[in-house]
Homo-oligomer: A and B are copies of this chain.
């Protein structure tokens, strides 16, 4: 039995998964199979050459008991942008969307009830040819897994401004959700954790002068009452949570500045207590408040107000996702209640 009150993140899977194979230059018929191991060759291309990209999004159980996915088309578009950079064939929209809808209808009962719970959706693509030579794979697999999940982080995080390691560089794959970006980040993150931090704040690859991302999330900081976040670049993932938050704040006429934030500017503002809030933005964590900013030997406390901007934004997003307010931005993609599962009174 799954304990929905204590769901870990990404460890519990639903009954089914979607699999679709690409070979001889074409995508085949998608299949829905019981979730479980499949035979794979140890010469599987992706295990050797890292041609693999993924997405992460969430389906929510609305207060009326129906199920809705948050902005799946944005994830679909980003998956294909990642795929292109990694020389993986793009997935046709109907395979992605129709497959997703059919899969969720089948596992509708798995979408958890509760404000902090959701069905995490993991579409991914990997190179599946059986050869070991450093050239693109001939065949690929598109797969969707579903995982009912609790919150990603709990509480606020301590972050360290990283000046030794980098996550991405101009001309690299930082904007793509490429598998290798994540594995490469574990070591510097572990070093930061050994110093007592939760996560790293990445800086640029040239001089470590610019703030880039926070761990696996986009970063936001409110300085002198202005919402600041680095502009998108080839080095930064185009977060859908980031985009949604910008849209919400724009709609509310909150002062916003998308553009460079230097380390010097951030540290100075934090020291002078002109930073009223700072947080990570991402699908898994949604919003992750930052309580401490580490820079070299200094640790600066950052306010984490209960009723600040991040709390407001999180509530706005939650209200839309749970259907408590009108979805004025057209973000929710409703899943028709399957006939065979009619009871949520």
Interface residues of A (CB under 8 A from B): 8-11, 13, 17, 19, 35-44, 46-52, 54, 84-87, 120, 122, 124, 126-127, 130-136, 143, 145, 147, 152, 164-166, 168-173, 178-188, 190, 205-206, 215-216, 284
The reply to whether A184 and B178 contact each other, CB–CB distance below 8 Å, is yes
The reply to whether A86 and B187 contact each other, CB–CB distance below 8 Å, is yes
The reply to whether A179 and B42 contact each other, CB–CB distance below 8 Å, is no
Q: Give the oligomeric copy count.
A: 2
In the bound complex, residues from chain B placing their C-beta under 8 Å from that of A185 are: 134
The reply to whether B178 and A145 contact each other, CB–CB distance below 8 Å, is no
The reply to whether B42 and A47 contact each other, CB–CB distance below 8 Å, is no
Bound form: Cα–Cα A188–B170 in Å: 13
Contact of A37 among B10, B41, B84, B215 (CB under 8 A): B41
Given the interface pairs A134-B182, A135-B186, A187-B86, the reply to whether A17 lies near B36 with Cβ below 8 Å is: no
The reply to whether B172 and A51 contact each other, CB–CB distance below 8 Å, is no
The reply to whether A186 and B132 contact each other, CB–CB distance below 8 Å, is no
Bound form: Cα–Cα A344–B166 in Å: 53
Minimum CB–CB distance from A296 to chain B (whole Å) comes to: 16
In the bound complex, residues from chain B placing their C-beta under 8 Å from that of A183 are: 46, 49-52, 86-87, 127, 178-180
The reply to whether B190 and A87 contact each other, CB–CB distance below 8 Å, is yes
Bound form: Cα–Cα A46–B179 in Å: 8
Minimum CB–CB distance from A218 to chain B (whole Å) comes to: 14
Contact of A180 among B19, B126, B184 (CB under 8 A): B184
Contact of A170 among B166, B172, B186 (CB under 8 A): B166
Closest to A37 in B: B39
Bound form: Cα–Cα A171–B40 in Å: 33
Minimum CB–CB distance from A160 to chain B (whole Å) comes to: 14
The reply to whether B132 and A205 contact each other, CB–CB distance below 8 Å, is no
Bound form: Cα–Cα A169–B173 in Å: 12
Closest to A167 in B: B172
Q: Given A10-B132, A85-B184, list of 11 further CB < 8 A pairs? A: A43-B122, A48-B182, A50-B52, A51-B183, A52-B183, A86-B186, A134-B284, A136-B190, A165-B172, A171-B205, A172-B184
In the bound complex, residues from chain B placing their C-beta under 8 Å from that of A10 are: 43, 131-133
Contact of A124 among B47, B124, B152, B170 (CB under 8 A): B47
Minimum CB–CB distance from A181 to chain B (whole Å) comes to: 7
